[in-house]
Each structure stands twice: as structure tokens, then as C-alpha cells.
Amino acid sequence: MMAQSVPHQTTDKKRVKVYELRNNDWFDRGTGFCTAGFMQLDDGQTRDPRVYVESEDQPDRLLLETKICREDGFQKQQETLIVWTEPSSGTDMALSFQEAEGCHMIWKFISGIQRTFQGALAGPADDSLSDDLAIDAQTTISLPPADLKSLAEIEGAMRVMSQTANGRDALTKFIMSDDYIGKLIPLVEMAEDLESLPDLHRLCNIMKIAILLNDTAIIEHAVSDDCLLGVVGALEYDPDFPGHKANHRHWLDNQGRYKEVVPIEDEVIRRKIHQTYRLQYLKDVVLARILDDPTFSVLNSLIFFNQVDIVQHLQGNANFLNELFGIFRAVPPDPRKKKDAVLFIQQCCSIAKNLQPPARQTLYNNFIAHGLLQVINFGLRHGDVAVRVGATDILVSMIDHDPHMIRQTLYRQIHDNQPLLTDSLVDLLLVEVDLGVRAQIADSLRILLDHGPQVQAQEAFAKANGEFPARARLAPAAEVHELLLAHFYEHTAKKLFKPLMALEGRTDMNFPVQQASMFPYLIETLSYFIRQHMHRSKFFMLQNNIAQRIVQLLSCPEKYLRLVAVRFFRHLVGLQDDFYINHMAEKQVLGPILQVLIKTMPRDNILSSACLELFEYIKKENVKDLLKYLVQRHREQLVDLSYMETFRDIVFRQEQPQGGTMEYFLENEDEEARRPMQPNSRMMEHIAIDPSEEEYWNTSDDEDGPESKALDGPPTNGAATTTTPQQQKPLVDYPSDEEAEGKSDDAAMPPSSETKLGPDETGETQSVPVTPPPAVGPPPERLSEKRRREEEDDDELEKLMQHKRRNSSSAGSNASITPGNMVRRRRSFAERASPSGAPRKISISISPSLKTGGNARSDEES
């Protein structure tokens, strides 16, 4: 729709080029004719002051359409150039005029609009006028008279002035001082009589601008009795939806909608109640689509302060509370008044959610002192769903605030043999059809039976709770908790979980929708009780065979019921409690879950994922009882699923042999293609040593030459020689310091005990002395002398090793290995590899790098 100029301050079309800054380079968007002014559409609406550039080649195409506002920062450069930054996209734009006169005329209009934004009167532009002076200038405005002919001008002026802070302040003062809204209200009825839709749309825009000024005085004036119907009547004709009309006036007509359950004598409070309702309707319905953050905050503030005044008046008026709660004790009872009273109390509790905790606590205490819990019991058992929802909302509000307060009341109800609130909640949960109410009731039961911290002081509650004046102080929290749990599991639990226990012996698992939707809430509540109540929940599970009843749900056609059952058993396994692990193995609950997985495996869905996660968790945490049960009872199914690592590992862990190897086969898509699978490296410690490796360690090494075999004596048929403990002797026996004194090398090393090792690096043959143990052992050595000798031997050996490293880099890599260390290492490995642990002879080979060190040591010690 083409824009047409209206009789406002505009300019003629001037030829201009449009440029856009892209990547630090000015891009030519085309040549056209520039126009600036207040533009009016065909339907009569006036838009913001804008600058248009129509294409020279295609008059119907707009090259540019930009809104003039203070934030844009229009600047005039040289004589023919105007530059600015688009606030929406942040793009730098420029207009290059063909003539300086055209640039001056457009700039004159733009600068005038910018000064208007600062609160000054629109007038001829003056480039020398400072922006700071314009901001500091005294704002004085005057809107046209309120009539149908001036609506377009009024809308344009109000829209321009509402763009700046000074303009908004000036417009707010003018509207309130001149009662401008009151003058516009009669125009709504006149435009409706004339069926002038453009005028009604302008009135709607004007009312929106006035309300969005975020002034509390204007908003309170708009929702007053004199202006409310006129304001919302204008807002019914939204120009964004020209073909539709709202019915705000019909809804806000409070005749027949405002009810006084108990008459409120205070006129100020009654007026605030009406105003609060209108403000909420204005915020949530009328202006919900266009509401900005400042206006939203103003409306919320007005509603909050009104609610505080209303609640303080109600809780401080004893006569009002007596009359309100006396409705439930009236004879004969009035069902209509009881329903209205429950809904009124629900609204009071909803208001209390926004109050500070001390004020909210005072309100609840006053309500409880006058019999609020009896009202809740009445509401929970009422036949009207609105009353049940209201009573549940009241209870949830109190539990959210202070659950210990409700627990104390339940404690006293048990002692006084009164109907318990939890019993009413259970009865309602079993018959309620509304899912939202069910969820609230289930949450309430879980919170009440959970031992939470005491929020409010006991003395303050006892003082404010007039319902039980004989009790001076409250019972300890632990005592209250134990009594509630004992009463619950003795009386209430069987009633609560009766739908589950009734599944015993049932084969047809097709349930009505309402009954089927009950099981998720029951199982979720049971999971919570199992986690919180420990031994009581264990006894209840065992006594009523609850696990077997939940297993039956795996046969239901509803997939969500099967998923709920799988989640329950996953919760039990996650507790890592031996009782529940043994209970699951005894009741054989994993078999049906495995069947569910097999049936759903061709499809990848949340049910199969839940089953897989359960078995993966059992394998990961190594729950041995469940793993043993699975392999013993369901090995065939596990083998069928062995293409998945989870089940392959489960079978491997349970069936691995203790004295040999075992081959596993992978079943891939081609059943004929089978290959042996090596056992997991993590299980190698449980597998016996291969015989070839055993034979290797029992024979001597051939790569070191025949000289190394002389240490073990002549072999028998190439096999290892087994010795008894009496025949074992040390490979090398160095004499002690005392024995070496006064003896020569020949005396210390007999020729018969010398073993040749082969030539060394110099070509000489080296030998290691081997001395047989004496028949009678030497006298015991003192501990201090033994330590000193060992330290000296270590120092000498270290010096020899360092000398050898400097001579040969290849031999240096083995310098830290001594014959004694090699013997100990191979002996320890042989003992680990031998299943029986019997001692055996170990053959060793000594590298040439050790020959020099061994010979030098023996020579030196001798």
C-alpha cells in the first residue's frame, strides 16, 4: 500500500543517491526521489515521521524507508550529504543530494523533528541550535481539541512526543491536568454510532500510547469506574486485527461477576479489590501482546501493593474471618456458599504467594486457627472439580510455605482420632481424573511424608494456632515423623497402592485410560518412599510382593506403562542395596525385562534404550547376583544378543574358566561367518599360563651360548631338571668379609667350582666362582655389621657400574641389573606362573656386560 502525504510539515521530492556502508566501502543502492514528513496510509492511520526514497527507474519500489528519531543521530556533512546509523541493523547510511537546496530542505525537517523529541515546539530548523540547549529547554505542549476530525493529528503528535523522556513527562502532565482521557471516551461511542472504523483504530492507538507512558496516575485513572468501560471499549478495536472485535466491556461488567461471600464493609478495600481485578485483566488480556517491560513493572507494582492492603485488612478483621469460616458450620448447610467460600480462600492463598514470608505465615496461622484444615477436607471430597482444584491449591500453597506446620497438624489429628488429611489426599488421588490435580496430590503426599527441616519456630506456631490451645509446645520433629510413617504404613499405604496389589492373578492387562494413568503416579511415589523410608518400605515391598505386581505391567500394551516399570527396577538397582538386589534376583524380574528388550530391539525407541541402560549399569557396576542370575537362567537370550558388547561381556564374566582358555564367537549378519574371540585383557590374571611359555622358563636360554647352561649342570634329554628344597643351592655365594681375610684367591675359589662364561671384550675368558654351601652354617652375624657390609658392597658395585658405562654405551644399558636381581625377578615370575606354587629350577643367562663387574667383585672380595 503506497504511502500518501498528509497536511503536515513535509518537503517536496528531491533527487538523491542512497549509499550503504558495506565492509568499509560505500555501496550505491540506487538513485531516487527523497520525501520526508508524516505519512498517512489509505485507512487513515498516521505513521511516525519518516524519510522515503522512491526509485527513479521503478516508482513503485522504495529504495529507503527510515524512521526519524533522536537515537538515529542524523548528521549533515558538507552541503549535499546527510549520514546516519540505522538503529535496528546498525548499518551506516548516507543520502547524497543533487542540489544543496534539496539537502537543506530535508535537513530542516529532520532537525525540527529531533528538537520536538527533546520537548521543544516544532519550528524552523536552526543548525546552530545546540542539542544541549534543546534538552534543557522548558517543555510545553498543547494537543489539538478532542474531536473526531483531529484524531489523526492527535495520534501523530502523541506518538512523536512519546519517543523521549521529556516529551513523555510533558504529555503525562498534559493528559492528567486536562483530563484528556475523559474527553476522548465519548468519541468511542460516537465513532461506533457512525461505524467509522478508521476513527476507532485511531482511538485505540491513542489509548495504547497513553497507557504505555508508564505513569501510575494515568493507569489508575484509566481503570477507575468513570473511565474503565470507555478505555477498554477503545482497545477493543485493534488496528492490527481490523476484521475482529474484542468483548472487554462485556467481560469487565462486574454486575453479576463480583461476588461477596461475606460482605466487606470497608469501601476503600472493596475499591482496591475491583481495581486489582481490572489491572490483572488489563495486564494479562488487553495489553498482553504489546506490553513492554516498564509498563509490565508498573502494573505489577500496583497489583502487589493492593494485594498487601487487602490481605492485611482480611487477616486483621476477626469478625470477617469468623463469619467466613462459619459458613462451613452453618445449619442447614448452604452448598453454594460453601463452594464460593472455598474459591474465596483459594484466591486469598494465591495472593499470599506474592507476599513476604512473615505476612504469609500470619495469614495461614489465622486461617488454620479458624478451621482451614476442615475446609480443605471438605473441598477434597467435593463433587465439583472446581472445588477440588481449589482445595488442592490451598493445600499446596501451605505445604510450599511450611510443610512442618501441616505435619504438626497431622500429628494432632492422629492423637485425637480425627480423619487425617493424608487419607483425604489418598482418596482423592485414586478417583481424580484431572491430571494436574493428581500431580499436585502426589507431590503433597511425598512432601508431607518426607522429614524436612522445620521452617518456622515452634513457639510462634503454637502461639498463633488457636485450634489447639491446650498444647503449650509442639512435639519434636523426629517424633512427629516416626508417628506419621508408622500410621501411614499401617493404614494408608495399603489403600494408596491398592491398584497395584489388585493386579495379583490378573492376566488381562488392558486397562481403562483413567486406571492406566494412575500407575505412573503410584510407582513414582513408591520409588520416592523406597529412597526415603528405608526399612519400612523394604518390609512393605516384601510383605505385599510389590515387585512381582510391577513386573506384570511389562505385559501391558501401553508402552509408557512398560517404561515406568523398567524405570522402577532401574531405580532399585541404582540404590546398590543388597536387599533389593537379592529381592530382584529372587523374584526373577530381569527375565521379563530381557523379553521386552528382545521384542523391541528391531526398533530404536526410548523403551529399548531404557532396557539397555539397565543391563549396561548392571554390567558396569558388576552386580554379581544379578549377573549370575542372568547367565544361569537366560543364557540363550544373552547369546542371541551377544552382537552387543553389553551382553557379550556379561556372559564372558560369568563363564570364564579357571584353568584354561575359552573361545568366543561373534554372531554377525552372516551366521556362517564365525571367528574366535580373544578374552578380554582385563581377565588375563584368571587364565592359566600357556604350556609353551611354561617350558620356555623351565629351560635355559640358547641365545647366550653354551656357557650359560653350565650354571644349571648338564641337562637331561633337553628338559628342565626339577630339584627338591634340600638340593637347592645359591647360584653365586660370595664369601663374607670375615671369611675373605687371610685367604688367597686360590684357596677361596677351588678350580672345580669355577664356571667359564666365555671371552669378554678383551678376548680373555672370565669365570664366576660358585662355592657350595658348607655343611655347617656360619655363626649368626650381628645386625650392625651386616648393614655396614651391605652398604660398602653397594658403594663398590655402583663405582664399577659407572666405570663400565663410560667404557661401553651398549653395556651401560644393563649396568643396573645384577645377577642376584635377575635371579629374584625370574624366580618371582615362575612362582606366579606356577599354579601349585612348587619351587622349580630357573635357568638364567648373564650378558657379557656383567662379566667384568662380577669378576672384579669376586677378585676384590677374595
**Residue 275 placed within a domain:** no
Task: Classify residue 668: in a domain, yes or no.
Answer: no
Quick check: 847 pLDDT over 60? Answer: no
CA 135 to chain centre: 49
> Quick one: 746 and 819 in the same domain?
yes
DSSP 702: S
Q: Is residue 493 part of a domain?
A: no
Q: Are 497 and 518 in contact (CB under 8 A)?
A: no
In the listed set 224, 247, 270, which residue is the last one of a domain according to the structure? 247
Is residue 124 scored above 50 in pLDDT? no
Say whether both 22 and 109 belong to one domain.
yes
Whether residue 669 has pLDDT greater than 60:
no
**Count of domains for the chain:** 5
- What is the average per-residue pLDDT within 676-690? 44
Contact 570, 614 (CB under 8 A): yes
801 pLDDT tier (thresholds 50, 70, 90): low
What distances in angstroms separate CA 344 from CA 265, 394, 702, 729, one per listed residue? 17, 10, 101, 102
Q: What letter would DSSP give residue 282?
A: I
- pLDDT, tens digit, for every residue of 430-454? 888 888 888 888 988 988 888 654 4
Top-confidence residue, 707 or 257: 257
Cα Rg, the chain, nearest whole Å: 48
- Spatial separation of the C-alpha atoms in residues 226 and 185, rounded to whole Å: 10
Contact 161, 171 (CB under 8 A): yes
Q: Which residues neighbour 621 within 8 Å (Cβ) at sequence distance 6 or greater?
A: 573, 576
Q: Which helix (H) or strand (E) holds 799?
A: helix 783-807
Q: Which long-range contacts (CB under 8 A, 24 or more apart) does 145-151 make?
A: 146/180, 146/183, 146/184, 146/187, 147/187, 148/187, 148/190, 148/191, 148/194, 148/196, 148/199, 151/187, 151/199, 151/202, 151/203, 151/206
Please write the tens of the pLDDT for every residue from 511-551.
Answer: 998 889 999 999 999 999 999 888 899 999 999 999 999 99
Q: Which of 335-349, 477-491, 776-790 has the lowest mean pLDDT?
A: 776-790
Q: What backbone phi and psi angles, to 5 degrees, belong to 473?
A: -145, 160
Domain match, 126 and 169 both: no
Residue 277 in any domain: the answer is no
Q: What is the mean pLDDT of residues 625-637?
A: 90
| Average pLDDT over every residue of 119-136 | 39
Residue 714 lies in a domain: yes
pLDDT at 784: 63
Residues 123 and 215 reside in one and the same domain: no
Are 351 and 407 found together in one domain? yes
State how far the Cα of 77 lies from the Cα of 80, in Å rounded to an integer: 7
Domain boundary residue, one of 655, 682, 700 = 655
Identity at 400, one-letter amino acid code = D
Give 38's contacts (C-beta < 8 A, 6+ positions apart): 6, 8, 9, 10, 46, 47, 48, 49, 156
Rounded to the nearest integer, the mean pLDDT of the chain is: 74
Copy the grid coordinates of residue 471: 498444647
Residue 847 sits in the same domain as residue 733:
yes
Please report, rounded to a whole number, the percentage of residues in the chain having pLDDT higher than 90.
Answer: 19
Residues 41, 177 share a domain: no
The predicted pLDDT at position 451 comes to: 63
Domain identity same for 178 and 123: no
Residue 625 structural domain:
499-655
Which tens digits make up the pLDDT trace of 700-755? 555 444 444 444 444 444 433 444 444 444 444 555 444 444 444 444 344 444 43
Is the CB of residue 405 less than 8 Å from the CB of residue 461? yes
558 and 507 fall within a common domain: yes
**Residue 467 resides in a domain:** no
Rounded (5°) CA angle 762-764-769: 125
pLDDT band at residue 118 using 50, 70 and 90 as cut-offs: low
Is 158 in the same domain as 94? no
Please write the tens of the pLDDT for every residue from 361-403: 888 888 888 888 888 888 888 888 888 888 888 988 888 888 8
State the cell numbers at 550. 510391577
pTM for this one? 0.54
611 and 583 assigned to the same domain: yes
- Does residue 755 come out as left (phi exceeding 0), alpha (psi in the -120 to 50 range) or beta? beta
Residue 588 sits in a domain whose CATH number is 1.25.10.10
Residue 63: band (very low, low, confident or very high) from pLDDT cuts 50, 70, 90: confident
Q: Are 737 and 793 in contact (CB under 8 A)?
A: no
Residue 4, strand partner residues: 40
857 and 740 within one domain: yes
Distance (Å, rounded) from C-alpha 49 to C-alpha 109?
A: 10
Average pLDDT over residues 115-127: 46
In angstroms, what CA-CA distances link 356 with 276, 280, 299, 305? 19, 20, 19, 12
Query: Given 230, 247, 264, which residue is the final one in a domain?
Result: 247
β-bridge partners, 55 = 32
Does 641 score more than 50 pLDDT? yes
Cell numbers found for residue 495: 489403600
User: Phi and psi for 136 in degrees, rounded to 5?
Assistant: -80, -10
Contact 667, 642 (CB under 8 A): yes
- For β-strands 664-665 and 676-677, DSSP reports them as antiparallel
Choose from 93-102, 131-140, 203-212 the range with maximum mean pLDDT: 203-212
CA distance 758 to 766: 6
Asked if residue 300 is part of any domain, the answer here is: no
Measured between alpha carbons, how far is 644 from 619 in angstroms, rounded to an integer?
A: 13
Question: Rounded distance, CA 765 to CA 763, Å?
Answer: 7
Is 846 within a domain?
yes
Q: For cell 474503565, what's the residue?
A: 228
Confidence of residue 595 (pLDDT cuts 50, 70, 90): very high
d(CA 294, CA 290): 12
The answer to which of 53-67, 407-421, 753-767 has the lowest mean pLDDT is 753-767
